[in-house]
Amino acid sequence: MSTRRLFLKSSALGMFGVGTAPAWLSRALYAADGPGARKKILVAIFQRGAVDGLNVVVPFGEKQYYSLRPNLAIPKPDRTENSAIDLDGFFGLHPALAPLKPIYDSGHMAIVHAVGSPDPTRSHFDAQDYMESGTPGRKATSDGWLNRALPIQKDASPVRAVSLGTVLPRAMRGQNEAVAIANLNDFQIRDTRGAGTFESMYESSLDQVLNGAGRETFEAVKLMQSIQKQPYAPRNGVQYPNSSLGQDLMQIARLIKSNVGLEVAFAEMRGWDTHVNEVGARPTVGQLSNLLGQFGNALAAFYQDLGDRTADVCVITMSEFGRTARENGSRGTDHGHANVMFAFGGGIRGGKVYGPWPGLEQEQLYEQRDLQLTTDFRDVLGELVVRHLGNAQVASVFPGYEQPKFRGIVG
């Protein structure tokens, strides 16, 4: 492990002449050696389309769950793959999430249930927007919480904030430099005839704005080259699934292990809007089961691949809102309210389902149809920002929400 780090360090520094390596680079690389000096990293994963939290972390101890969902309910744990995986005698994991169970058992995965945005909207567009801006109900916020979460720092690494995909998501936008990368291997001038020329042009340009941005671009490109040269081998033969989330997480792991100064990363998975045929012949198979299979396998591979680096990393998952407590007429569910979030990493106090459970009796439902909210998503994200990233300015990360109530999931 440490020889690998040393190798990457020298090869990355070798890209620059002696004495010319930018401050952030030497700091990022050398800091990796000092005990506890490695940067904390927050990886946010957005499940776009509103995942059905009640079938992801199943309240099998709740009688109402089974009467609301005659066709959809995941059976109580019976140690077969056609039933929920018992977590604490009341909640169980969807069986497709079996790969995550060992992380839960090791105490490094926490679940928060009945969590979400207090805004009543059931529009995907508005709800995603609110969750990414971190300001429910306010449409004019121009930047995202994940960008604001970055501690202010001079000489920061050009790749301290990376999102996987071609467009910078809302959550990552803002004043801090944030890079959208579709594919690490592709972050370069593709036509080799042009690479050196462009670099020379931007480096010598008298255009101050483009000169500055150009320099940073080519610094980031060089950094990527040091990574690109090494074919990536996940730890101990970990196999990432060939799904888009699996591939994105593999690239994030690659960045983390290259010690290039990553602090926040963003990836997403689409397709959770299960109005129709959420389940197949049995409740434990079908559309949702397949999606959760991809989701769980990708996350489990990522976690295993990180090895001892999980000490620095926290992964948090979110989705814009939950789905109706009652199943609909087409073996699916419609747009609802509160949902479930997963947090895992070395610093997470896991092995537990957090958040007061509001119940599923008719009078306990939000607007008589959805899971009631008992934890604001900013309580969870705020805690990660403060206690994991070490950014105490939570009021500027979540403006208008000065007093988040931490659940104690980090520590």
Partner 1 sequence: MKKLSIVLRLAALAGLAAYSNTDYSQFEKPLSKDQEILHALNRLTFGPRPGNVEVVRKMGVKKWIDQQLHPERIVENPELGARLQPLESLQMSAAEIATNYPPRVVIQAMSKGLMPLPQDADARQKVELQLQRLKTRQNANGQGKGRDPLQQAMRQQVLATTDPVERRKLVADKAPQQAVAYDLNEAKLYRAIYSNRQLEEQMADFWFNHFNVYIDKGADRILTSTYERDAIRPHVFGKFRDLLEATAESPAMLFYLDNWQSVSSELGQRELGQRELGQRDIDQKAKLRAKAKQARGLNENYARELMELHTLGVDGGYTQHDIIEVARCFTGWTINQPNRRGEFVYNDRVHDKGEKTVLGVKIPAGGGREDAERVLDILARHPSTAHFISTKLAKKFVADDPPPALIERMAKTFHDTDGDIRAVMSTMLDSREFFSEGAFQAKVKTPLELIVSAVRASDAQVDFAIPLATQIAQLGEPLYRKIEPTGYSSANSEWVNSAALLARMNFALTLTDNRVPGSKVDAIKFADNPAAVARQVLFHEASPQTLDSIKKALAQREPTPALVAGLVLGSPDFQRR
Q: Can you tell me the distance from the alpha carbon of 340 to that of 111, in angstroms, rounded to the nearest whole number?
A: 7
Closest to partner 1 by CB, 112 vs 168, is 168
Q: Which of 14, 70, 102, 196 binds partner 1 (CB under 8 A)?
A: 196
* 166 part of the interface to partner 1, by CB under 8 A: yes
Site string (212-231) toward partner 1, x via CB under 8 A: xxxxxx--xx----------
In sequence order, what are the beta bridge partners of 316? 44, 343
Judging by beta carbons within 10 Å of its beta carbon (0-12, 13-18, 19+), is residue 1 exposed, middle or buried? exposed
CB 352 within 8 A of CB 298: no
Q: How far is CA 31 from the centre of its chain?
A: 24
Q: Which of 6, 152, 210, 395 binds partner 1 (CB under 8 A)?
A: 210
- Whole-angstrom distance, CA of residue 390 vs CA of residue 159: 19
The residue (of 109 and 127) whose beta carbon lies closer to partner 1 is 127
Contact between residue 60 and residue 92 where contact means Cβ atoms under 8 Å apart: yes
Mutual angle of helices 244-257 and 287-306, in 10-degree steps: 10
CB of 317 to partner 1, least distance (A): 18
Residue 79 vs 281, nearer CB to partner 1: 281
Token pair belonging to 105? 């058992």
Burial environment of residue 307 by CB neighbours within 10 A (0 to 12, 13 to 18, 19 or more)? middle
Residue numbers 308-347 binding partner 1 by CB under 8 A: 329-330
Question: How many residues form the binding site for partner 1 (CB under 8 A)?
Answer: 75
Which span (73-81, 195-203, 305-313, 375-383) binds partner 1, by CB under 8 A? 195-203
Contact call for residues 357 and 113 (beta carbons, < 8 A): yes
Which range touches partner 1 (CB under 8 A), out of 2-10, 85-93, 105-113, 359-367? 359-367
| Residue 389 binds to partner 1 (criterion: CB under 8 A) | no
Q: Does 2 engage in binding with partner 1 (CB under 8 A)?
A: no
As to burial, measured by CB atoms within 10 angstroms (0-12 exposed, 13-18 middle, 19+ buried), residue 206 is: exposed
Count Cβ atoms within 10 A of the Cβ of residue 349 and give its class: 0-12 exposed, 13-18 middle, 19 or more buried. middle
Single-letter code of the amino acid located at 36: G
Q: Is 263 in the site for partner 1 (CB under 8 A)?
A: no
Give the nearer residue to partner 1 in terms of CB position, either 31 or 199: 199
Residue 244 touches partner 1, criterion: CB under 8 A: yes
Stretch that binds partner 1, among 28-36, 62-70, 101-109, 173-181 (CB under 8 A): 173-181
Integer Cα distance of 406 and 10 in angstroms: 41
The residue among 107 and 358 lying less far from partner 1, judged by its C-beta, is: 358
| Window 133-162: residues binding partner 1 (CB under 8 A) | 139-140, 142, 154-155, 158
Q: Is 197 in the site for partner 1 (CB under 8 A)?
A: yes
Site for partner 1 in 106-125 (CB under 8 A): 120, 123, 125
Question: Of the two residues 67 and 330, which places its CB atom closer to partner 1 in the complex?
Answer: 330
Smaller CB separation from partner 1, 19 or 35: 19
Q: Interface with partner 1 includes 403 (CB under 8 A)?
A: no
Nearer to partner 1, 25 or 384 (CB): 25
The partner residues of 339 in beta bridges, in order of sequence, read: 115
Q: Angle of helix 2-14 relative to helix 23-31, nearest 10 degrees?
A: 170
Candidate list 11, 26, 228, 247; residue touching partner 1; CB under 8 A: 247
In angstroms, give the least distance from the CB of 368 to partner 1.
Answer: 7
